[in-house]
């Protein structure tokens, strides 16, 4: 598995990462989680991304920590904080007091002494960004965190955070995690240029548009049983639209003509971007891990990538 740098953090990660948001939710039992995690490890995946709120508030971290066991030392472990962990909590919290409690809770659930990449899940408008950046830097100095990142920040919010870090002479964000795929390219306008200015790496989530870019869904047909868009009306409403069906059908025509799968088109287009650190894709079965890794290794030629870029631009 090829490795890439995460910004200027010194962390190196596999081209394909494993998103662990299904653990504790769609995957309530630990044995299927263990099978997915161990297959990912065996195939050379080194980036495992979760969040404290995943899996009904905490269960994803617990299951990941249990499944990794002694192999935790072989990976880059990423998690997030800031979303409400109880019904009466603030909608978003990146205050110093909260960060210090949240990191200890995550370390305990993950059964580890350190977190490689600690990310603010969503910006907190009520906390001065200088306070957040200083608190995160203290965690780095304490050895509890190796690098920091953000998720779902606008370009203006990102610039503010990086400027605050520079002003305080503390560690800036190394990564940003945002939705990015052939069907969702809005961050190209402002966020990606801001990230490039700060020499950051992008960790795209929903790189397969919740499965719409895998080729397993068909317009006006029932989704496969157990698939995410069948199980979640919320995700289905976000991704299923006339516009997306039209693009998917055009991409399928290119896939058929070029001899590449939809998965290979989706992964290859992303991995051609120098700013990409790793493609974080979720999985509920070991076979999905195998398919993702194989797709990343069989990339379409530049002419095919240029064609699908033009279709979705």
Collect all residues with Cβ–Cβ distance below 8 Å to 23 and sequence separation of at least 6: 33, 50, 54, 55, 59, 60, 63, 64
Collect all residues with Cβ–Cβ distance below 8 Å to 104 and sequence separation of at least 6: none
Residue 255's pLDDT is 96
68 and 38 Cβ atoms separated by less than 8 Å: no
Could you give the CA distance from residue 267 to residue 83 in angstroms, rounded to a whole number?
Answer: 29
Residue 1's pLDDT is 84
pTM of the predicted protein model: 0.93
| Residue 118 designated active-site | no
Residue 231's pLDDT is 54
Assigned token pair, 42: 């065996």
For 128, the domain range is: 3-312
Could you give the CA distance from residue 53 to residue 49 in angstroms, rounded to a whole number?
Answer: 12
Residue 216's pLDDT is 75
Q: How many domains does the chain have?
A: 1
Half-sphere exposure of 144 (CA within 13 A, CB side): 20
**Element counts in the chain: helices (H) and strands (E):** 12, 10
Residue 217's pLDDT is 75
Residue 184's pLDDT is 96
Assigned token pair, 260: 């590449």
Distance from the Cα of residue 152 to its chain's centroid: 11
Report residue 148: phi and psi, to 5°. Answer: -125, 155
Residue 31 to residues 35, 39, 65, 193: CA-CA distances in angstroms?
6, 12, 13, 42
**Residues of the chain predicted below pLDDT 70:** 220-221, 223-237
Residue 239's pLDDT is 78
Burial class (CB in 10 A: 0-12, 13-18, 19+), 29: exposed
**DSSP H helices in 111-173:** 129-141, 155-168
Could you give the CA distance from residue 66 to residue 74 in angstroms, rounded to a whole number?
Answer: 15
From first CA to last CA, the distance across the chain in angstroms is: 29
Collect all residues with Cβ–Cβ distance below 8 Å to 273 and sequence separation of at least 6: 202
Half-sphere exposure of 87 (CA within 13 A, CB side): 0
**CATH number of the domain enclosing 229:** 3.20.20.100
Residue 247's pLDDT is 95
Could you give the CA distance from residue 174 to residue 114 in angstroms, rounded to a whole number?
Answer: 17
């Amino acid at each position: 598995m090829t490795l890439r740098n995460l910004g200027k953090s010194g962390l190196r990660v596999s081209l394909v990462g494993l998103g662990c948001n299904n653990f504790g939710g769609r995957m309530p039992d630990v044995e299927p989680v263990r099978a997915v995690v161990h297959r990912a490890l065996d195939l050379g995946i080194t980036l495992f991304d979760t969040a404290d709120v995943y899996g009904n508030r905490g269960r994803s971290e617990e299951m990941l920590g249990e499944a990794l066991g002694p192999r935790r030392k072989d990976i880059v472990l990423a998690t997030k904080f800031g979303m409400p962990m109880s019904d009466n909590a603030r909608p978003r919290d990146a205050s110093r007091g909260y960060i210090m409690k949240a990191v200890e809770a995550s370390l305990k659930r993950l059964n580890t002494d350190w977190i490689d990449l600690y990310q603010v899940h969503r910006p907190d408008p009520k906390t001065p960004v200088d306070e957040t950046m200083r608190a995160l830097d203290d965690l780095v100095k304490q050895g509890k965190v190796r690098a920091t990142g953000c998720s779902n920040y606008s370009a203006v919010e990102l610039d503010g955070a990086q400027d605050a870090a520079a002003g305080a002479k503390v560690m800036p964000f190394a990564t940003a995690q945002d939705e990015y795929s052939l069907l969702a390219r809005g961050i190209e306008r402002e966020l990606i240029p801001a990230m490039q200015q700060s020499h950051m790496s992008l960790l795209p989530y929903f790189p397969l548009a919740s499965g719409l870019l895998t080729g397993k869904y068909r317009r006006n047909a029932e989704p496969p049983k157990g698939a995410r868009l069948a199980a979640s009306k919320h995700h289905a409403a976000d991704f299923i639209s006339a516009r997306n069906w039209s693009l998917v059908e055009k991409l399928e025509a290119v896939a058929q003509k070029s001899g590449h799968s939809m998965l290979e088109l989706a992964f290859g287009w992303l991995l051609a971007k120098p700013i990409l650190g790793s493609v974080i894709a979720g999985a509920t079965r070991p076979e999905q891990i195998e398919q993702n890794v194989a797709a990343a290794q069989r990339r379409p030629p530049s002419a095919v990538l240029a064609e699908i870029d033009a279709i979705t631009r």
